[in-house]
Amino acid sequence: MKTSLLLLSYSKEITDGLKKMIEQMQTSNDVSIYSLGGTVDNEIGSDPTKVVDAVNEAGQEDWFLVFADIGSAILNAEMAQDMLEEDQQERYYLVEAPLVEGAFAAAITASTTSDVQQVLSEAQNAGKKEWS
């Protein structure tokens, strides 16, 4: 199954940069990355319709891993889920992980396995640093 990573932030520059970094470090055709930062007018903020449009643009068999950074980006990711068709909602995962580390780990893992639970686990553990 194909994976779509949906990156949400108040800033389009943040999600554009993250998308570029991930694409340079993984080359799987089974992972698509959507930069959904900012509003539809490319201002600071977020917009659930950008998420819905990305889901509708993606393949019918994709599962969607949603990474958001703060505040309304998280709320808009949740709102977008409510706006989707039921079959899309079943493949839509709000990932509780840091935006950068989680999305990177998910992309790398999804390029090697189709086990969504393994991808989610790697993403959720990616931000844990054990410095001492």
In the chain, which residues have pLDDT < 70?
131-132
Residues 76, 54: contact at Cβ < 8 Å? Answer: no
Could you give the CA distance from residue 32 to residue 44 in angstroms, rounded to a whole number? 24
Phi, psi (5° rounding) for residue 6? -110, 115
- What residues pair up with 8 in beta bridges, in sequence order? 68
Q: Residue 94's closest CA among 110, 78, 70?
A: 78
Rounded percentage of the chain residues whose pLDDT exceeds 70: 98
Q: What is the pLDDT of residues 40-51, one digit of tens each?
A: 888 899 999 999
Note the pLDDT of residue 87: 94
pLDDT score at 92: 97
- Give 40's Cβ-side CA count (13 Å radius): 9
Q: In order of start, what are the domains of the chain with their CATH numbers? A: 3-125 (3.40.50.510)
In tens, the pLDDT along 90-110 reads: 999 999 999 999 999 999 999
